[in-house]
Amino acid sequence: MIVAYDGTDFHGWQKQVHPDRKYLRTVQDVLEKAVVKVMREPVMLTGASRTDAGVHANGQVVSFDANNEIPPDKLVLGFNSWLPDDVQVRHVDFTHNKFNPINHCTSKGYRYSLAHGCSNPLRKPLFDRRFTAFTAYKLNVEKMQEAATHFLGEHDFAGFTKLNHGRKTTVRRVDQCTVQETDPWRISIDVAGAGFLWNMVRIIAGTLLEVGRGYYSPSDIPEIIASCDRKRCGKTMAAQGLSLEWVKFAVDQ
């Protein structure tokens, strides 16, 4: 399945059990309940990316195994009839029974949407405020784009994640990192790679913001990455600006 969602009112993608047994609304839980209703059998969903609380998706890829073979076009209609307004199944298809959207993923693309120069309150997001972060600073987009090129390639991104990240290695490969002004006072930061650390894209965006406002120069980025020091990087930007745009797989998947 290709799934889109407004992550504002979700505690992220993954189902969670809160210590005091309080129900936490997650995309996986809501979607799984809809799938069970239509398939009429137990299912377990696997998502390509464990998006954090408040993060959105246009192209999350999700798989499940089932015995009940229903045509994909009917599944799209059936699943969406049971889903709330902030989740939508956009496509369903059959794949081989060993397919795993996590293990077989070759790259993911994220977009961070940002309004800048918002010391003028009329530039702050209004109708798209759930999907666009903002900053009071007027940003230099050309300097940000120059800085973005230094993220390309394979690096140790230990400084661009939480301290207790729980990953065996913090080495990651970035295939794309671009900054462009999409509309007056609006910026999109696009980052793609094989995989990302917890909050990595949001911290890259926060570091590029510091370049845009003149706190860092583009030439500082290689040293910041090499330092593996979280304190040298920018802040973790707000979740509402981030969206999982697409996930790619090997051709034979």
Give the residue numbers annotated as catalytic, written as ranges.
52
DSSP E strands in 98-233: the ranges are 105-115, 133-134, 153-156, 171-183, 186-193
C-beta atoms surrounding 171 within 10 Å: 12
CB-based burial, 86-115: b 16+ in 10 Å, e otherwise:
bbbbeebeeeeeeeebeebbeebbbbbbbb
DSSP codes joined into one string, 79-109: HHHHS-TTEEEEE-----TT--TTTTEEEEE
